[in-house]
Structure 1
Amino acid sequence: MKSESSNNHEEFLRLFTANESAIRAYVRCLVPTRDDAADIMQGISLVLWGKFHELEELDGFRSWALAVARYETLAWHRDRARDRLVLAGDVLGMIAIDSAQQEKRLSAQRDALENCLKQLPVDKRHLVLGAYEPGVCIQEVAEQSGRTVAAFYQWLHRMRLRLRDCCRRSLETEGLS
C-alpha cells in the first residue's frame, strides 16, 4: 500500500509535469533570458512542492502555480533591482497580469485544438501530427500519405483550415473567442 506522502508526490509530479510548459512560458515573458527563466523555474518547483499540501483543489493547480511563479519572478526582479536594466515593479505587475490572462486564452485554445484533433480520423490525425514532429522530413510524411510533397502541403493546408474552424466554433461555444 502506498503511503500518503508517495501519493502526494505522484500527484504533484503529474500536475507539475502537465503544467510546466505553461508556467515556464509565463516566467519567460517576465524575464530577459532563458537562463533566468530556468533559474526561476527551479525555485518555483521547490516552492510548489513545499506548499503543495496547502493546495485545496487540485483543479486549481495551474492558477495556483502561476500565482507562485508571479511572486517568485517579482522576488527575482527585486533581488536584481540594482541592475540598470530592470523594469519598474508596477510595469512588471502589469505584464504579469497580462501574461496570466494570455495563458488562460492560450490554454483554452490548446484544449480546443486537442479536442478537434481527436475528432479527426486516426490516419489523418497521425499525418497532421507527423508533419510537426521535431526533425521530421516532410517528404517522408508525404510519401506515407501517398501524396507528392506539393499535394501533401495542399492537404495539410486544408486540414489546418478545418482545425482552425473547429477551434473557433469550440471557443465561441464556450464564450472564449
Structure 2
Amino acid sequence: MEPDHNDIHEQFLTHFAANEPAIRAYVRRLVPTRHDAADVMQGVALVLWRKFDELDDTEHFRRWAFGVARHEALGWLRDKARSRLTLAEDVLHVVACESTRDDDRLSAQREALEGCLEKLPTHHRKIILAAYAPDAAIQEVAGQSGRTVAAFYQWLHRMRLRLLNCTRQVLQAEGLS
C-alpha cells in the first residue's frame, strides 16, 4: 500500500527541516555569496521535493540532498561562468567532496556550539547573536550592550573564547575532538 500524498509531504518536510541548515551551509561553501546560496537553495528545495519519492532510503536524505545541492550549484556556476567570482568546476568538485566528508564533524561542532550558547545568560546570548546577524552594525550592538565599541570587542573576544572552550569540552566529552 502506497503512502498518501499527505504522508509523503510530512516525511519530506520533516527531513528537509532537520537537514536544511546543513544543506544551506554546504551550498554556501560552493557559491560566492549568501545571496547566491539563497538562489541555489530555492532550486535545491524544488528538486528535493519533486524527486523525494525516488529516494529509496530516507536514512540517507542528507547525503542525497548534498548530491542534489552539488548538482544545482554546478548548474548555477555554469550559468554564471562569466563572473570572475565563480570557481572552476574541478575546484568546486574538490570543495564539494571535502564538504561532504566534513559534514559530520561540522554538524557536531554546530550542535555543541548551540548547546554552549544555550548555557549563556539570555542577555549575553542575544547580544552575541545580534553581533553576528547579517548586516549587523557593531556600533549599534555595542550601544545596545551598554559598552563602547572598544569595550564591546574585548567582551566579544572573551565570549568567543568561552564558547570555544565550552565547544571543545563538549566535543571531547563525546569523543569527537
TM-score surpassing 0.5? yes
Q: Distance in 1 between matches of 2:150 and 2:32?
A: 40
Residues 15-164 of structure 1: matches in 2 within 5 Å?
15-27=15-27, 44-53=44-53, 54-57=55-58, 60-70=60-70, 95-164=95-164
Q: Distance in 2 between matches of 1:147 and 1:36?
A: 35
Q: Distance in 1 between matches of 2:61 and 2:98?
A: 19
TM-score in terms of structure 2 length: 0.68
Change in CA separation of 1:127 and 1:56 when aligned onto 2, cut-off 3 Å: same
How far did 1:157 drift?
0.8
The answer for unaligned runs of 5 or more in structure 1 is none
CA deviation string 1:44-101 (max 9, x = no partner): 444422442445445x422232244456778x6xx99xxxx9656xx87655432211
How far did 1:18 drift?
4.6
The answer for unaligned runs of 5 or more in structure 2 is 80-86
Amino acid paired to 1:97? C
Q: Kindly indicate whether the alpha-carbon contact (under 8 Å) linking 1:24 and 1:41 is maintained by their aligned counterparts in 2.
A: yes
Q: Distance in 1 between matches of 2:40 and 2:133?
A: 29
Amino acid paired to 1:103? D
Q: CA RMSD for the aligned pairs? A: 3.8
Q: Kindly indicate whether the alpha-carbon contact (under 8 Å) linking 1:55 and 1:61 is maintained by their aligned counterparts in 2.
A: no
Larger Rg, first or second structure (1 or 2): 1
Q: Kindly indicate whether the alpha-carbon contact (under 8 Å) linking 1:109 and 1:167 is maintained by their aligned counterparts in 2.
A: yes
What number of residue pairs does the alignment pair up? 167
Amino acid paired to 1:150? A
How far did 1:38 drift?
7.5
Q: Distance in 2 between matches of 1:136 and 1:92?
A: 30
